[in-house]
Chain A
Amino acid sequence: MEIAEITIAMGAAVIALMMLGVPLVFVTGGVAVITLLLTFGPAGLPLIASRIYSFLDNYVLVAVPMFVMMASVLERVGVARDLYDAMHVWAGRMRGGVLLQTMVAAVVMAAMTGIVGGEIVLLGMVALPQMLRLGYERKLAIGTICAGGTLGTMIPPSLVLIIYGLTAQVPIGDLFLAAIIPGLMLAFAYVTYITVRVALNPALAPSAADGGGALSLTEKLKHLRPLVLPLLVAAAVLGSIYGGIASVTEAAAVGAAGAFLCAALRGRLDRALVWSVCRDTVRTCGMILWLTFGATAFIGVYGLIGGTRFINDVMVDLPLSPLGIVLVMMLVVFLLGMVMDWIGICFLTMPIFVPIVTALGMDPVWFGILFCLNVQIAYLSPPFGPSTFFLKSVAPADVTLQEIYRSVLPFIALQVLVLTAVLLFPSLALWPVA
């Protein structure tokens, strides 16, 4: 068989099996092994284990469980909840205040932890019932929570950027720096959208009657006190990465240790907490790590049979400018994002795309930010939008998945807008790096 035919066969098999509901790790891994057996025979088999081994033998990867652990501790000791409450007090009687407070809380949470599932579950449990009770328009409320919670993987520290950095061999500190402006642009776009919608149609959001506007400034400041230490920890993590003092892994370790310190100062550091945090970490890692094993096997086999070069030739032969090629790549990621998890997408496409991007003379850091923005879309876009599922799992029963899908559409449009802006003006991402 020609490589073009193999490519189509492998792609079709992966998509069909995935839609059938076979776990992604076995889809990618199984298809990889079968392809390997058909092309090279059993002699090629050691490749699979050796690829997984060399992937595991990596210091940056250690940062992943550490960030997960940090997030889990902060979430379990109630920091996110305190944050939300504090924002509530500060938002006061502003029209649409709860929406904006949710968004601001989501951004700060994203900088502290960056685990999308945890953020959306929390906001869905705390903010959504409150907004529905106060008479906020349902779709705006739902969309705000989904889009805001998803920012977790855009604003550093971000697992998406760490995994991208690993696959693309790009310094993660640079990626974190480059993500700041696009991440804030997203948040700013959401806030603007909410403000404009509410200003045009005041019926969408009541001016909060039970807000904390009546509290004195000292009262308001008091609500910030439990947040000081967690914010310091977050600042220490990002500061030491940006300052070039510590590697990402060390910064993550400091963050996790700091999170445990917060727990201790709140009198919550006990055996039960440590156990549940460890369990969270193993769960999260178990789910995502083996997925990457399957994908790394897949892309290894595909490279071995000449597929990477084939895609490279196809892409370069397209009658398009370099920017057009990047646009095609983004379209591929977007389409995959509708049905697939971002880790799978990252490991399947980036080993092929990044060398092409670099060969075309473009910056892989910038491309990583584009990918990360695209992952934001993937989190929301149906039918497989993890954020929508997270919210559905905690939302009141009368909130249907269809309603959530419709609610996130305007926010997806805003994400596309920001993605386009960064695509056309790379300096939005690269300016802090240089």
Chain B
Amino acid sequence: MTRWSIAVGEWCGLLFLFSVVVSAYEVVVRYLFNAPTTWVHETTILMSAVAFAVSGLYSLARREEIRVTVISERFPPWLERVRVWLTFVLAAFFLGAVAYGGFKAGWQALIGWHTTRTAFDSPIPAILKPLLVVVAALMLMQLILRLLERDGGSDHGDR
């Protein structure tokens, strides 16, 4: 799963690239040809937001979360275990709340195919709300897997 998370994350980089391309296109057609589009604005938001959401899974799989390591680098093994478990418990609360609390809204948005009700009427809520739930659940799974790995999720020695 770790490898899979990383692969999905890297593909999401292309969404950012695509946002750049269509936004640059929008600037060109608007200023050079005076023909603004209706779809670029919301499409870039959607693509970037999807990539943002998934990127969390990516950095979790690569163990690149931002944290203060100055002190924990010198932890004895037992304290490092405490740190790993504390991380897991707090993450379970947070990701669990995102997944559980967002489930109802996400499900409704997906089933009812909620859209933005704008000129372009894109399905941002219908895609993004359920996606957040899914990503949060996957991140939680990723963390459980990390606990099961040989080093028990300790960061000692892999930097």
Contacts and interface: CB of A to CB of B under 8 A. Distances in A.
Interface of A: 17-27, 29-34, 36-37, 44-50, 52-53, 56-59, 61-62, 65-66, 69, 245-246, 249-250, 252-254, 256-257, 260, 274-275, 277-279, 281-283, 285-291, 293-294, 297, 339-341, 344, 383-384
Contacts of A30: 89-94
Given A22-B86, A29-B94, A30-B94, 5 more contacts: A21-B69, A25-B66, A53-B102, A57-B128, A278-B17
A25 B44 contact: no
Interface string B94-106: 1111111110111
Interface in B47-65: 48-49, 51-53, 55-60, 62, 64-65
Contacts of A26: 65, 87, 90-91, 94
Contact of B104 (A18, A36, A46, A288): A46
Interface in B1-35: 9-10, 12-14, 16-17, 19-21, 23-24, 26-27, 31
Contact of A288 (B58, B66, B128, B133): B66
A274 B14 CA distance: 9
Interface of B: 9-10, 12-14, 16-17, 19-21, 23-24, 26-27, 31, 41, 44-45, 48-49, 51-53, 55-60, 62, 64-72, 75, 82-83, 86-87, 89-102, 104-106, 124-125, 128-129, 132-133, 136
Contacts of B52: 56, 61, 65, 285, 289
A360 B100 CA distance: 40
Contact of A56 (B10, B17, B53, B97): B53
B23 A250 contact: yes
Contacts of B129: 49, 53
B26 A250 contact: yes
B20 A253 contact: yes
Nearest to A340: B68
A253 B21 CA distance: 7
Nearest to A298: B94
Nearest to B86: A22
